[in-house]
């Protein structure tokens, strides 16, 4: 009898736990749906133009349903920032590389990869002004200076190590200036890919080549002459150079000029001739060289 009662009790407990797990999953799914809609609206319309009602309408919810999960749109924005930055930071913080310069290099590549793979998240994180109402909490401030929790602090630590070891040129001796210069470099590549990858006015080059060219060029300029990492960059550069040479042989440079110099189908040789002709002194007419 006792065993039977115990079995019934355990069965009821299991059902209750499954029910609780189901409710938890449902709550998380609803929150994710709300956050996704809010992110999209914040990016497209701006924080000030978006209301909780607009977010609710976008997912066919009532405003009251949103307030069950988030007290206002400021809390929504804060949660979006926490989640999106945490997702990107986790990839950077996972780097276990002793050489600080290589660590900087890999982190830059991760930044570009994350942004181009998660375009809407990146737009909100780095291409949408964050409202003044979303101020960092005490917990946020503590994380911001912890290189084990924050991607920016992680980069600052790597740059500080490189400076301490005499790896960087004198003009890169200020930690945050160097980190922010690198940030500008990788952000430019990422933002251009997001906004112009399908632009009919500009034939954007492959992201892989654009990222490597920008990041490697920055690192070359950052390192002191003779630094051992130049060999790594030279090897990478040699691989990029092969692809670039193939593009040029296929007539990529002539794309800029051939349409205005010759009419009808042209061969690669004719394209090269067109480029050489247009590039002669005094013949360049409005070309951006």
- pLDDT tens, residue by residue, 224-257: 999 999 999 999 999 999 999 999 999 888 877 7
Any idea where the domains of the chain sit in the sequence?
Answer: 1-71, 77-249, 251-289
pTM of the model: 0.79
Nearest to 34 by CA among 62, 64, 56, 63: 56
Q: What average pLDDT is seen over the chain?
A: 86
Angle at 273 between CA 267 and CA 279, to 5 degrees: 135
Averaged pLDDT, 158-187: 98
pLDDT for 7 equals 55
Say whether pLDDT at 277 is over 70.
Answer: no
Pick from 24-33, 43-52, 101-110, 255-264: least confident: 255-264
Q: Does the pLDDT at position 81 exceed 50?
A: yes
- Distance of alpha carbon 212 from alpha carbon 190, whole angstroms: 12
Question: What letters, b where the CB count within 10 A reaches 16 and e where it falls short, cover 200-222?
Answer: eeeeeeebeebbbebbbebbeeb
Would you state the pLDDT for residue 23? 81
What distance in Å separates the CA atoms of residue 102 and residue 99, rounded to the nearest whole number? 5
Strand partners, 223: 168
- Binned at pLDDT 50, 70 and 90, residue 287 comes out as very low
Neighbour count for residue 186 (Cβ, 10 Å)? 21
Which of 172, 147, 40, 29 lies closest to 95, judged by CA? 147
**Count of other CB atoms within 10 angstroms of residue 141:** 10
Q: Could you tell me which residues come within 8 angstroms of residue 131 by beta carbon, excluding any fewer than 6 positions away?
A: 47, 48, 74, 77
What is the reported pLDDT for 134? 83
77-249 to CATH, choices 1.10.10.10, 3.30.70.20, 1.10.3470.10, 1.10.357.10: 1.10.357.10
> What residues pair up with 168 in beta bridges, in sequence order?
223
Residues 250-279 have a mean pLDDT of 60
Q: Which CATH number fits domain 1-71: 3.90.226.10, 1.10.10.60, 3.40.50.150, 1.10.10.10?
A: 1.10.10.60
Going by pLDDT thresholds of 50, 70 and 90, the confidence category of residue 115 is very high
pLDDT reported for residue 289 = 33
Is the per-residue pLDDT at 216 higher than 60?
A: yes
Q: What is the mean pLDDT of residues 61-73?
A: 92
Predicted local confidence at residue 101, as pLDDT? 98
Q: What is the pLDDT of residue 53?
A: 95
The CA distance from 95 to 90, in Å, is 9
pLDDT of res. 258: 59
**Higher-scoring residue by pLDDT: 137, 232:** 232
The confidence band for 282, taking pLDDT boundaries of 50, 70 and 90, is very low
Which of the four pLDDT bands, split at 50, 70 and 90, describes residue 130?
Answer: confident
């Amino acid at each position: 009898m006792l065993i039977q009662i115990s079995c019934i009790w355990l069965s009821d407990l299991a059902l209750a736990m499954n029910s609780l797990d189901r409710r938890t999953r449902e709550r998380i799914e609803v929150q994710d749906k709300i956050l996704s809609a809010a992110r999209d609206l914040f990016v497209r319309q701006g924080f000030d133009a978006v209301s909780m009602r607009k977010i609710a309408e976008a997912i066919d919810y009532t405003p009251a349903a949103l307030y069950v999960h988030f007290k206002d749109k400021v809390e929504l924005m804060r949660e979006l920032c926490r989640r999106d930055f945490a997702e990107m930071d986790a990839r950077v913080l996972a780097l276990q590389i002793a050489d600080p310069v290589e660590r900087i290099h890999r982190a830059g590549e991760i930044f570009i990869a994350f942004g181009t793979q998660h375009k809407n998240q990146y737009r909100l994180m780095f291409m949408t002004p964050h409202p003044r109402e979303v101020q960092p909490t005490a917990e946020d401030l503590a994380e911001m200076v912890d290189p084990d929790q924050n991607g920016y602090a992680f980069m600052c630590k790597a740059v500080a190590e490189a400076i301490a070891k005499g790896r960087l040129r004198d003009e890169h001796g200020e930690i945050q200036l160097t980190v922010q210069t690198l940030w500008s470099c990788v952000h430019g590549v990422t933002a251009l890919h997001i906004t112009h990858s399908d632009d009919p006015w500009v034939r954007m080059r492959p992201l892989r080549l654009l990222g490597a060219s920008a990041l490697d060029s920055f690192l070359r300029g950052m390192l002191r002459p003779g630094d051992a990492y130049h060999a790594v960059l030279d090897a990478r550069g040699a691989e990029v150079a092969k692809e670039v040479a193939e593009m040029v042989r296929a007539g990529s440079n002539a794309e800029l000029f051939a349409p205005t110099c010759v009419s009808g189908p042209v061969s690669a040789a004719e394209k090269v001739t067109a480029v050489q002709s247009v590039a002669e002194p005094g013949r360049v007419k409005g070309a951006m060289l």
